[in-house]
Amino acid sequence: MSDVEVADERHPIAASPEVKAKVMADFAAGAAESGMGRRKLIRNTMFGALSLVPLSGIVLLRDMGPLPEKKLRTTMWAKGLQLINMNTHEPLRPEDVAVGSLTFAMPEGLSEHDHDFQTQIAKAALMIVRIQPEDIKDKRELEWSHEGIVAFSKICTHVGCPISLYEQQTHHVLCPCHQSTFDLSDGARVIFGPAGHPFRSCGSA
């Protein structure tokens, strides 16, 4: 490839006034010839058909089944439920969570054999990390954390991919789908990427 820089100027794409005038004249002549203005029945039928267009959208959406209502906003989590380590399937104890590690947890009572396991885990999976309390920048997060252990939803707030990458030095987590990056030491604030909201924390449930 040549390394000489070349600029190709873009040609104007607007039609000239003469061409525009000709098009408008042709259009007016066509409309007059067709007699559209006089044929009320055709015109009214056309307007009637156009007014039904939005209805087809509603019918299509209704065919997708009942609306989810609050089901997308609620998870299995409830006060008193134990966190279960998703790798060992054992209850997660504070001493199991080391500084710098990322652990995934699910609510007690959820089993991979449940018929709605995928639906529930897609909403309830948590990521658990331990941060030195002096490194936690967000005051509210510091209040609800336990000895520096914090729990956030594992589901990215962009379009819902599961988070998998954790950088222990910065406490940043990265979504593999579109690279949104969140700071777990600062209320899971979005620091990069298309996600519009921080992760939901257990402290804000």
| Alpha carbon distance 11, 146 (integer Å) | 65
- DSSP letter string over 75-121? -S--TTPPEEETTT-SB--GGG--BT-EEEEEETT--TTSTTHHHHH
In the complex, the smallest distance separating the C-beta of residue 122 from ligand FES, rounded to whole angstroms, is 13
Q: How far is the CB of 173 from ligand FES (least distance, A)?
A: 10
C-beta closer to ligand FES: residue 104 or 130? 104
Applying the rule CB under 6 A, the residues between 152 and 191 that interact with ligand FES are 156, 158-159, 161, 175, 177-178, 180
CB 98 → ligand FES: shortest distance, Å? 26
Question: 173: burial class by Cβ within 10 Å (0-12, 13-18, 19+)?
Answer: buried
Rounded-to-integer distance, Cα 135 and Cα 132, Å: 5
Selected from 77, 81, 166, 193, the binder of ligand FES by CB under 6 A is 193
Which one, 194 or 203, has the nearer CB to ligand FES? 194
Site string for ligand FES, 128-157 (x = CB under 6 A): ----------------------------x-
Inter-CA distances, 121 with 75, 106, 111, 114, 146, Å:
9, 7, 9, 10, 24
Closer to ligand FES by Cβ: residue 110 or 173: 173
Return d(Cα 21, Cα 28) in angstroms, integer. Answer: 11
Of the two residues 109 and 160, which places its CB atom closer to ligand FES in the complex?
160
Segment near ligand FES (CB under 6 A), from 40-48, 81-89, 141-149, 192-200? 192-200
- Token output for 133: 């309390």
Supply the minimum distance, in Å, between the C-beta of residue 62 and ligand FES.
Answer: 28
Q: Does 20 contact ligand FES by CB under 6 A?
A: no
Taking the complex as a whole, how short is the minimal distance between the CB of residue 179 and ligand FES, in angstroms?
A: 6
32, 99, 132, 163, 165 from 184: Cα distances, Å? 68, 13, 12, 12, 12
- Minimal distance in Å, beta carbon 45 to ligand FES? 46
CA angle 76, 101, 94 (to 5 degrees): 60
Q: Footprint of ligand FES on this chain (CB under 6 A)?
A: 156, 158-159, 161, 175, 177-178, 180, 193-195
